[in-house]
């Protein structure tokens, strides 16, 4: 099972989201984790891709204008990916991912 942590900025961003968008993100994360565990890449609907302006930072699309950025951190459990959630919100977060 993958491990994760959240940046303080992610927590601040997340706190500002309305509850319906928080639920959409949680649903996307369940799919994201399923795909990580399956090891066959991410389903196209999650639109996981690198952020062009920030090497090593990736974005996950969880709503039409919902984005979350993350990096792969050092594994906490050997052989399992460790995700560091950086930002969450609208497409605007990509200015400072």
pLDDT digits (tens, 9 = 90+) for 64-79: 999 999 999 999 999 9
Q: What is the average pLDDT across 37-59?
A: 95
Domain count for the chain: 1
Domain, as residue range, for 53: 3-95
Mean pLDDT of the chain: 96
As a whole number of angstroms, the distance between CA 68 and CA 85 comes to 7
Specify the pairing of strand 82-89 against strand 3-6.
parallel
Specify the pairing of strand 58-63 against strand 66-73.
antiparallel
CATH number, position 89: 3.30.2310.20
Strand partners, 61: 67
As a whole number of angstroms, the distance between CA 48 and CA 32 comes to 9
Q: What is the average pLDDT across 43-61?
A: 95
């Amino acid at each position: 099972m993958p491990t994760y942590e959240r940046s303080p900025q992610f927590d601040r961003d997340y706190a500002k989201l309305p509850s319906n968008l928080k639920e959409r993100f949680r649903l996307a994360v369940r799919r994201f984790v399923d795909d990580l565990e399956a090891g066959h890449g991410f389903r196209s609907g999650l639109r996981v891709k690198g952020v062009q302006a920030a090497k090593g930072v990736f974005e996950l699309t969880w709503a039409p204008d919902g984005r979350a950025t993350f990096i792969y951190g050092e594994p906490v459990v050997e052989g399992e990916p460790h995700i560091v959630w950086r930002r969450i919100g609208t497409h605007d977060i990509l200015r400072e991912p």
